[in-house]
Amino acid sequence: MSEAAPTLRLEVKNVTKRYPSVVANSDVNLRVAPGEIHAVLGENGAGKSTLMKIIYGAVKPDIGEVLLDGKQSKIRNPQEARALGISMVFQHFSLFETVTVAENIWLGLDKSLTLANVREQTVRKAKIYGLDVEPDRPVHSLSVGERQRVEIVRALLTDPKVLILDEPTSVLTPQAVRKLFVTLRQLAADGCSVLYISHKLDEIRELCTNCTVLRGGKVTGHVDPRNESNASLSRLMIGAEPPKLQHREVKTGAIGLQAKGLSIVADDPFGVTLDNINFEVRTGEIVGVAGVSGNGQQEFLAALSGESTRAPSGSISLFGNDISKRNPRVRRAGGLHFVPEERLGRGAVPTLSLAANTLLSRASEVVGKPPLSWVSPKATASLAADIIKRFHVKAGGPSAEAKSLSGGNLQKYIVGREISANPKVLIVSQPTWGVDVGAAAQIRGELLKLRDEGCALLVVSEELDELFEVCDRMHVIAKGRLSPSINTADATVEKIGEWMSGLWEVSHAL
C-alpha cells in the first residue's frame, strides 16, 4: 500500500484577481511544502506582490482559494494571517513613522507581551541574525535599509509557519546576506516554509529549491532554480535575456560635483555626523558610493541635493560654483538632478497622478511663457507619456496615481523622469531597488549612456553587483566617513566588504 502524499504547508488554487485597468493574477497555482524555500519570480507588474498579499490576507481574490496545512483558509486580514502563522516583509514598508522601532514591532505581536519584553526580544533576535536594529529609535529617522531590517526582525519574532520575504536583501551587505541565508535555511530546517521574492537570480539559484515564475499575471513555469541558468530564468520571466551593457572607455572632463572638507554635525539624536568628506565627480564618469544603510547616506545625500543647507560654505561646489547653502531649485537650474531612495513620499506623491508628479522636478519645462505663466496640462501629460513609453513603465497612462504602480514600475518612472531631463550632474540613490532584471539592465544602460554623453553621475547603492557593473570609480561610506576612491577594476567584493566596516586605512596599509 502506497504512502499518502505529505500535506502541503501552503497551496494556492486557481487564484484570479482583477483591477479596473489590469488582471493582476490569472488562474495562478502555487504549492509549497513544509520546510521549503520557494522563489516567486517575475518582472515588475507580473502579479507577485498581489499574490503575496492574497496569501497574507491584505487582498481578497475574485476567484480561487488558499489552503494552509491542507485546510481552506479564508484569511480576512493580516491579523488573522499572523494568528495562523503567516508573516510577511513588504517591499513597501508598513511602519508607523511617529513611534519607535520596538513600539512598531509590539503593535503586530501578541498583546500579552509587554513593551519591555518586545524590546528585549527585538535586541536578542536582531543580534542572532546580524540585523543592526535600535529598538528605541523613532522610525521616521530610519533609512530605507534600516526600516527593512525592522520589518525582517518583526516577522522573525512571530516564529512563523510561512514567511514571505519581498526583496529582503536589496539593502544588505554581502556578509549580512550570507547570514540571512543561514537564518532562512535554519528556519526551513525547523519546518518553516519561506516564500522568497527577489530579482537577484544568483540568490534564487543558490538559496531556493523550487521556483514559480509569473509573467503578466500568469504562471509561465515551475522549476528547480538549482538546475537553471540566469539566462533560462530570465527567458521564463521576461521572455528574453537582458541586454548586455555596453562599456566604453572613460573620457572625463571638468569637475561637475565636488565636496571639500564636508562636515555636518547630526541635528537628530539618531542621525549620523558627516566627518571631513572629500570627493569629486567629473563629467563623463560614474562614481559609486557603497555602504551599509544607516552610515550617513541620508545626511550625505541631503547635503548634496539641497534638501539640507547646513553644509559649511565652500564645502560643496557645482562646476566650481559654491552651492553649499543653495536650495534644490537653484541646484536643478545649475544642471543637478536627484533620485531619492524613498519612492513614495519623496520621489513621488502617492495620491497625485504621474503627470502631476513630473512637476516635482520638471515644472520649468511645462510652464507657459509670460505673461501666461501657468502650467500646461497638455504639456505635462505629454511629458509623462514620453517617460512611460521610453522606460516601459506599466501604468494606466499619465493620469494613473503614483501609488497604483508596482514598486519597480514606479522606480522606473522616477528614474526616467530625472534621466530624461538631460542633467549635467545626476545623483541617484538605489537606482534599481526592487526592479526586475530587464528593467535593471535598461536603467543601468541609460546611466552609462548619460555618462558617455558627458554627464557626471554619483550612484549611491547598497547593491555591490550594481556598483561593479556601472561605476568607473568607487568610494565606501562608513560611520559618516568616506573612503578614498578606488578604480572599480582594482576593487573586489571582499575589499569593499571590509571597507564597509570602516577598515580602509588598514587595507591601504597592507
pLDDT of amino acid 232: 92
The domains of the chain are located at 10-238, 255-509
User: DSSP letter at 100?
Assistant: B
Q: How far apart are CA 119 and CA 98, in angstroms?
A: 17
Q: How far apart are CA 1 and CA 203, in angstroms?
A: 40
Q: How far apart are CA 316 and CA 308, in angstroms?
A: 12
Cell of 76: 480576512
CA distances, 86 to each of 79, 82, 83, 233, 481 (Å): 9, 5, 7, 27, 40
Q: What are 452-502's pLDDT values in tens digits?
A: 999 999 999 988 888 999 999 999 999 999 999 999 999 998 899 889 888
Q: Please, what's the b/e burial string for 308-318 (b: 16 or more CB within 10 A of its CB; e: otherwise)? A: eeebeeebbbb
What are the phi and psi torsion angles at 397 (to 5°)? 95, 180
Looking up cell 521616521, which residue turns up? Answer: 140
> Do 10-238 and 255-509 show the same overall fold?
yes
pLDDT of 4 > 60? The answer is no
Give mean pLDDT, residues 354-369.
Answer: 90
Sequence-distant (≥ 6) Cβ neighbours of residue 505 within 8 angstroms: none
pLDDT of 270 > 70? The answer is yes
CA angle 30, 35, 39 (to 5 degrees): 45
Output the pTM of the full model.
Answer: 0.76
Cell of 387: 517617460
Q: What are 73-86's pLDDT values in tens digits?
A: 889 999 899 889 99
- Of 357-361, 413-417, 432-436, 497-501, least confident by mean pLDDT is 432-436
1: pLDDT confidence band, cut at 50, 70 and 90? very low
Sequence-distant (≥ 6) Cβ neighbours of residue 398 within 8 angstroms: 353, 354, 355, 380, 381, 384, 385, 388
Say how many Å lie between the first and final Cα of the chain, rounded. Answer: 67
The yes/no answer on whether domain 10-238 falls in CATH 3.40.50.300 is yes
pLDDT of amino acid 18: 94
pLDDT of amino acid 182: 86
CB atoms within 10 A of CB 466: 21
Q: Are 54 and 66 in contact (CB under 8 A)?
A: yes
Q: Are strands 63-68 and 10-19 parallel, antiparallel or unpaired?
A: antiparallel
Looking up cell 514598486, which residue turns up? Answer: 407
pLDDT of amino acid 92: 65
Give mean pLDDT, residues 169-194.
Answer: 82
- CATH topology (fold) of 255-509: Rossmann fold (3.40.50)
Q: Are 210 and 38 in contact (CB under 8 A)?
A: yes
Q: Could you tell me which of 307, 339, 343 has the C-alpha nearest to residue 325?
A: 307
pLDDT of 373 > 90? The answer is no
Q: How far apart are CA 125 and CA 341, in angstroms?
A: 27
Q: What are 380-413's pLDDT values in tens digits?
A: 999 999 999 999 998 989 999 999 888 788 999 9
Cis status, amide bond into 371, omega within 30 of 0: yes
Indicate the average pLDDT of the chain.
90
Q: What are 287-324's pLDDT values in tens digits?
A: 999 998 889 999 999 999 999 999 999 999 999 999 99
Sequence-distant (≥ 6) Cβ neighbours of residue 371 within 8 angstroms: none
Q: Could you tell me which of 477, 506, 447, 457 has the C-alpha nearest to residue 145?
A: 477
CA distances, 170 to each of 47, 146, 227, 338 (Å): 19, 11, 24, 20
CB atoms within 10 A of CB 446: 18
pLDDT of amino acid 510: 45
CA 306 to chain centre: 22
CA angle 101, 103, 106 (to 5 degrees): 110
Q: Could you tell me which of 435, 167, 132 has the C-alpha nearest to residue 293?
A: 132
Give mean pLDDT, residues 174-201.
Answer: 86
